[in-house]
Amino acid sequence: MSKSAVIFPGQGSQAVGMGKDLVESHPEARVWFDRASEALGFDLATVCFDGPAEELTRSDRAQPAIFVHSVVAWELLKARTGLQPAAGGGLSSGEWAALYAAGVVSFEDAIRILRVRGEAMQAACTAEPSGMVSIIGLADDKILDICNDLGIQVANYNSPGQTVVSGKSDAVAKVPGLAKAAGAKLAVPLPVAGAFHSRLMAPAEKIFAEFLADIPFNEPAFPVMSNVTGAAHADAAAIRRDMPRQITGSVRWVENVQAMAALGIDQVVECGPGKVLTGLVKRIDKSIGLHNVADTETLEKAAASL
């Protein structure tokens, strides 16, 4: 019997126009944007549908925006198919969408969580010039040598041969040259606000941990993978403990996908803007069937397949 997992993208997948097609085709989905706008205090739909891109790229806008688009995609798919996931996961902020789908947090609490998370991370970015570089085709040990030499960190283990590093601007500026000299196929600076998933986010982790102390958490209805540990969260207490650590820790996405495969997952559906995670899963485990829901066309295709 087939076992499916639902996965959700994180910051960086946002794009002006995200969610508009789904809402126009399914007017009932507008309620999610309206509820989010009420919780946030600004019109999220306008930011998502019309931009400008500079507004949507801000962490305190992008994270709630991606979450709501992901929820709309997931809720529409679930209504069409009755899909009951056997597992879930998400990349960075996308892990919160997975926790919502598993019933750990309410929609309104998730919006509040991502607003505070995004604001705290944006403040940390402003306080210290920093950045991230994606390295393609270089072994992990060589990447770690570069990190140790420059005093930076691995931010994301995205797939075999694709790793992202994070740190102060002057240090990460040296990464492309060093990585290529070490044999990397490519090393590209990312257009991000700062050094996510690094110790430079420590002030944001502290603020976020304090905020989460008052948020009610339920036990997950299905296993949700932890970016911090690489395995499934043990329980609600572990989720509360580990999610602040996720802001400064490495995203262990390769291990997340491997852990889902170990549970017998043979197909995944990515819900939200783009299909970056679908591509990463393909590189990690080619035996897993892939689906994504980003707009009406992909919703219809995924619903028919599932």
- Half-sphere exposure (Cβ direction) of 270: Cα atoms closer than 13 Å: 25
Element (H, E) at 48: helix 44-50
**Which tokens hold the place of 227?**
């970016």
Angle (deg, nearest 10), helices 276-284 and 253-262: 60
* Strand arrangement, sheet containing 87-90: 87-90, 4-8, 267-271, 289-293
Catalytic residue among 13, 70, 92, 130: 92
Element (H, E) at 196: none
Catalytic residue among 37, 69, 93, 197: 197
Instruction: Decide if 159 is catalytic.
Output: no
Give backbone dihedrals phi and psi of 89, rounded to 5 degrees, phi first: -170, 170
CA–CA distance, 304 with 299 (Å, rounded to integer): 9
Element (H, E) at 240: helix 236-245
Instruction: Decide if 197 is catalytic.
Output: yes
CA–CA distance, 263 with 224 (Å, rounded to integer): 11
Determine contact, residues 59/125, Cβ cutoff 8 Å. Answer: yes
DSSP result, 175-187: HHHHHHHTT-SEE
CA–CA distance, 140 with 187 (Å, rounded to integer): 14
- Per the listing, tokens 């705290």 go with 120
CA–CA distance, 192 with 188 (Å, rounded to integer): 12
In this structure, the number of other CB atoms found within 10 A of the CB of residue 192 comes to: 19
What are the catalytic residues? 92, 197
